[in-house]
Structure 1
Amino acid sequence: MKQFAYLFLFLLIACSKKEQDLTAQQIIDKTMHYSGADQVANAAIKFRFRTKEYTAVRKQGVFELSKQYFTADSLKVKEVLSNTGYTRFINNNAVPVVDSLIADSANAINSVHYFSVLPFGLNSAAVQKKLLKSTRIKGKEYYKLEIRFSEQGGGEDFEDVFLYWIGKESFLIDYLAYSYHTNGGGMRFRAVKNQNWTAGIRFVDYDNYKPMTPSIKFNTIDAAFRNKELKKVSEINLEAIEVELLF
């Protein structure tokens, strides 16, 4: 009996040590694998979000991210962000864009595409990962990671801070939050409500929340969610998803 107790204690310590030995990088790598996001680097992905059609083609480091829609007067607009910069087309003709608007327009395209294929992108050179204290949400254990970006290569919003809650058993992202500085700044918390596996890649829809009071701290926003101190402000739904893997 004593030997069994020692064995149980040894296994408990071993499992605990194994969990502690996982680094933020290892957790992200597992998340990439289990979500199929490691395939995004060589894929053509199309989806609809809020009446606009988005297309992303990525292959061996070359990318083209686009947004297409029709204006109220039936003009066809296509905005393209690629390795070479930002271009806008109206009825298939490239048109000039005021320099002061290019950064915001490019960022709007990149933001939708960035969130659509998470955790893809979390291994880019500008990403700074930090493993925080594990937490529990709705009875489930999560790794909690903080993501920051270096100024070089981190884009226009490199000062934004992200938090990710990754299931300890599934290694999938179920919740995320971000603190942003544009348009007066603020915080958002997203909870996955649906998942759609297409060509082995996980795509998700979110309920989108914001704090009810300004006293809520960003690093404890998960506690605010548990305590029902967040207000749902929108839904993030991806529709008509199509994926072609490029080899």
Structure 2
Amino acid sequence: MKYLSAFFLILILTSCENKTTKLTAEEIINKSITVSGGEKFDSANYSFKFRDKLYRASRNNGMFSISREFQQDSLGFIEDVVTNDGFERFINKEKVELADSIANVLSASVNSVHYFSVLPYGLESDAVKKKLLGVVTISNKPYHKIKVTFKEEGGGEDFEDEFVYWIQTETFKVDYLAYSYKEEDGTGYRFREAFNERFVDGLRFVDYNNYKPEIEGISVEDLDDLFEKKELKLLSEIKLETIIMGSTSAINP
């Protein structure tokens, strides 16, 4: 009986492993989006504070408005708004005209904060390319390791950036992510560790410890190994504060 029990245990473990390995990167990402709020994001209205600015998001089945608001001593009250129609800046409630180069930088800045605030939502886009790198262990937990790159068409101005997501094999939640980005003198890297998970009206929000490597000659795929070896430098904490649902006017399609 002892050997028979061991045999069945091996079968169960093997079966679980096979189920894990059969999942594609696309399926893993989709499961992660679902457990994080999924389709609820498609019609969500909410706001949050990040550092010294107020961010608002309103989505209605493809139509969207994402924005930030802040007070600047030299200019006054500033609103930066990105919608399906593009970017607009308002100063003291009046629209101002900007050069395309400046508008693109400001739009990317607004997009970046909103993009990270709701990950992995957004990774279902047709412009996203996903590759499963295998199952790895971080802090004694197993994770699907998935690399994400972007097509030039629909991938935005930073389509050359590369991301890696570490998604728990059991809960399908994103606990870690890393990305590379272009700098004037080369490539920059960041590794983020999620903490302070909370669900607000069914939507998952997290904060991050934000790390960078202090060595050169690496790739974005190496950053989990450096994190495990404690060879990353903690730069900052990225915290979303005062998350309020339904505080932004809904968009009519």
Flag whether TM exceeds 0.5 (same fold): yes
- Alpha-carbon offset, residue 183 of structure 1: 4.1
Secondary structure of 1:159's aligned partner: coil
* One-letter amino acid of the structure 1 residue matched with residue 71 of structure 2: F
**1:233 matched to 2:235:** yes
Secondary structure of 1:178's aligned partner: strand
- Alpha-carbon offset, residue 7 of structure 1: 3.0
What's the Cα RMSD here?
1.7
Whole-angstrom CA distance in 1 between matches of 2:228 and 2:4: 41
Partner in structure 2 of residue 133 of structure 1: 134
Partner in structure 2 of residue 202 of structure 1: 204
TM-score by length of 1: 0.95
Secondary structure of 1:30's aligned partner: helix
CA contact (8 A) 1:37 1:119 kept: no
- Alpha-carbon offset, residue 11 of structure 1: 2.3
- The gaps in structure 1 that reach 5 residues or longer are none
**1:123 matched to 2:124:** yes
CA contact (8 A) 2:25 2:130 kept: yes
Paired positions, count: 247
Whole-angstrom CA distance in 1 between matches of 2:158 and 2:75: 32
Partner in structure 2 of residue 17 of structure 1: 18
Partner in structure 2 of residue 214 of structure 1: 216
Partner in structure 2 of residue 34 of structure 1: 35
- The gaps in structure 2 that reach 5 residues or longer are none
Whole-angstrom CA distance in 2 between matches of 1:165 and 1:42: 27
Partner in structure 1 of residue 65 of structure 2: 64
CA contact (8 A) 1:31 1:119 kept: yes
Whole-angstrom CA distance in 2 between matches of 1:216 and 1:100: 31
Residues 149-174 of structure 1: per-residue CA shift (max 9 Å, x gap): 10000000000000001111111111
CA 1:177 to 1:97, structure 2 compared with 1: closer, same or farther past 3 Å?
A: same
CA 1:243 to 1:182, structure 2 compared with 1: closer, same or farther past 3 Å?
A: farther
* One-letter amino acid of the structure 1 residue matched with residue 205 of structure 2: F
Secondary structure of 1:155's aligned partner: coil
Whole-angstrom CA distance in 2 between matches of 1:219 and 1:66: 32
CA 1:68 to 1:97, structure 2 compared with 1: closer, same or farther past 3 Å?
A: same
Whole-angstrom CA distance in 2 between matches of 1:39 and 1:132: 29
Whole-angstrom CA distance in 2 between matches of 1:186 and 1:227: 20
CA contact (8 A) 1:216 1:224 kept: no
Whole-angstrom CA distance in 1 between matches of 2:215 and 2:164: 19
- Alpha-carbon offset, residue 13 of structure 1: 2.4
